[in-house]
Amino acid sequence: MPDADVEPSRPFITRAGEGQALWHLDNLMVFKAVAAVTGNRLAVWEQLLPRHSSPPLHVHHRDDEAWYVLDGSITFRVDENEITADGGDFVWAPRGLPHTFRVETQTARVLGLGIPAGFEDFFLTTGRPAPELVLPPAPEEPPDLQQMLPAAHAAGCDIIGPPMNGAP
């Protein structure tokens, strides 16, 4: 029997070069699937990140997050575990566990997953449309994390610490 809280989903395809493209902080995100088209089941994005890119330490309360590293090398911290993942590696961060990461190579590309969908609303709210599929200009100052807290909380996440050491 289908879950009563999950809307039905229809088959679809998001082709190469398609998707909603955003510049979020120092990276490019292209959303391939969001809650509205997956019946709230899954969000998928491709992400291009520059060296030392690192989100603040955060914890999700409603969704699990995962990354498939396409290119580059990224050190992930999930709870007390710190591991370096390279192209072809998969990393799982279950809900409720604090996590962050730091890009170790010049750039890295990942396929990100949010299960169920919903957390992508944070990026859609705090990002800006990307006029082209390249990294945004480097930020002139660190992000105002206090300004992001309400959007993170609304998306079921709490920001609980700084980015990983070595990040700008």
Residue 30's domain is classified under what CATH number? 2.60.120.10
Coil, helix or strand at residue 74: strand
Region 153-158 average pLDDT: 94
Q: How many helices, marked H, and strands, marked E, lie in the chain? A: 3, 12
pLDDT of 79? 97
At residue 3 the predicted structure's pLDDT band, cuts being 50, 70 and 90, is very low
Split at pLDDT 50, 70, 90, the class of 1 is very low
Q: pLDDT of 46-73, one tens digit each?
A: 999 999 999 999 999 999 999 999 999 9
> φ, ψ for residue 48 (rounded to 5)?
-110, 125
Q: Alpha-carbon distance 127 to 11, whole Å?
A: 27
The whole-number pLDDT of residue 156 equals 94
Q: Which two tokens stand for residue 139?
A: 């930020």
Q: How large is the average pLDDT for residues 37-54?
A: 96
pLDDT of residue 5: 52
Q: What is the pLDDT of residues 76-126, one digit of tens each?
A: 999 999 999 999 999 999 999 999 999 999 999 999 999 999 999 999 999
Query: Which amino acid does the sequence have at 40?
Result: N
Which one-letter amino acid corresponds to residue 74?
Answer: I
| In a domain? residue 167 | no
**19-28, 48-57, 66-75, 139-148: which range is least confident on average?**
139-148
pLDDT at 145: 81
Q: Is residue 164 part of a domain?
A: no
Model confidence band, residue 141 (pLDDT cutoffs 50, 70, 90): confident
For residue 34, pLDDT over 70 is answered with: yes
How many domains does the chain contain in total?
1
Range of the domain at 118: 20-131+151-159
Is a pLDDT exceeding 90 seen at residue 138? no
In a domain, 138, yes or no: no
With respect to residue 71, please indicate whether it lies within any of the assigned structural domains.
Answer: yes
Domain-located, residue 77: yes
Query: Is 4 within the bounds of a domain?
Result: no
Structure tokens at 41: 């089941």
- Residue 119 in any domain: the answer is yes
* Closest CA relative to residue 113, chosen from 79, 78, 150, 68: 68
Q: Answer yes or no: is 139 within a domain.
A: no
pLDDT score recorded for residue 2: 38
Q: What is the pTM of this model?
A: 0.90
**Encoding tokens for residue 39?**
């019946």
- Cis amide linkage into residue 116, ω under 30° from 0: yes
